[in-house]
């Protein structure tokens, strides 16, 4: 029986840059399922920063695709209480504004004893 080999591709850069958005659009496969890992690179940023990345990335995903938002543990969740609003606040803000776009996957998150993506595992986008 042949082994299934997963292919990972990376788009590194500012997700607000149209060139990066174009790269991401090309990287998402037309086949079965895409998995996106959002690892926001910001320091003491307002929730709008990673929320902007969500506003860019989520519309590119299809039903059945998967999104993981990293570094949601900062701002006291449970580390770096001095950090200020971060990725968790951004995902909460995004979900409040777009309640039917993503579905939290607590079952997958619970499989890990420790994760830097606390409340950051999502299936999506939902199709109604």
Measured between alpha carbons, how far is residue 92 from residues 7, 68, 88, 119, 122 in Å?
A: 30, 14, 6, 9, 12
Q: What are residue 68's phi and psi, to 5 degrees? A: -120, 125
Supply 127's token pair: 């199709």
Structure tokens at 54: 């969500």
- Tens place of pLDDT for every residue, the chain, 128 residues? 455 556 677 777 777 788 888 888 887 766 666 777 777 655 444 444 567 788 888 888 888 888 888 888 888 888 888 888 888 998 899 999 998 889 999 998 888 888 888 888 998 876 54
Torsional sign, CA 117, 23, 30, 93? positive
């Amino acid at each position: 029986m042949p082994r299934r080999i997963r292919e990972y591709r990376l788009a590194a850069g500012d997700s607000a840059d149209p060139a990066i958005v174009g790269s991401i659009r090309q990287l998402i496969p037309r086949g079965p399922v895409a998995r996106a890992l959002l690892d926001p690179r910001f320091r003491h940023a307002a929730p709008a920063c990673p929320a902007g990345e969500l506003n860019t990335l989520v519309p590119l995903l299809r039903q059945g695709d998967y999104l993981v938002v990293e570094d949601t543990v900062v701002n006291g969740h449970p580390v770096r209480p001095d950090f200020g609003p971060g990725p968790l606040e951004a995902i909460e803000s995004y979900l409040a504004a777009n309640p039917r776009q993503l579905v939290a996957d607590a079952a997958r998150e619970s499989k890990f004893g420790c994760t830097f993506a606390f409340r950051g595992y999502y299936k999506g986008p939902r199709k109604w």
